[in-house]
Amino acid sequence: GAGVSQSPSNKVTEKGKDVELRCDPISGHTALYWYRQSLGQGLEFLIYFQGNSAPDKSGLPSDRFSAERTGGSVSTLTIQRTQQEDSAVYLCASSPRLKSLLAGGNNEQFFGPGTRLTVL
């Protein structure tokens, strides 16, 4: 079946402009995550959506960053007034419905290919 898709694959923008990055999770997955990965670095958690619960925004680095998830499916990450330090690959991941450990649940995250953002 189709995996997680992200668009655009590459985005070049000028400092100060706003950008929107899109994530289409795997159908039926209730959890959706956004991460940022700077060149050669690890995964920096940004935001987490789980079903209809309030999102966990604890990883957003500033109020210029926001994200929405409409209808429990597609998500958009918006960066306002972009800065050069925002240049990175933005990864989206989705997970199936939560299950308890007793039910054999884990938290496998299925990642998209990422959007490479370059702020000039």
Residues that bind other proteins (CB under 8 A): 4, 31, 40-43, 45, 48, 50, 56, 91, 93, 95, 98, 101, 106-114
Strands 19-24 and 65-69: unpaired
CB of 113 to other proteins, least distance (A): 6
C-alpha–C-alpha distance, residues 32 and 55, integer Å? 10
> Nearer to other proteins by C-beta: 78 or 107?
107
* Cβ neighbours of residue 107 closer than 8 Å, sequence gap 6 or more: 31, 95
> Nearer to other proteins by C-beta: 50 or 73?
50
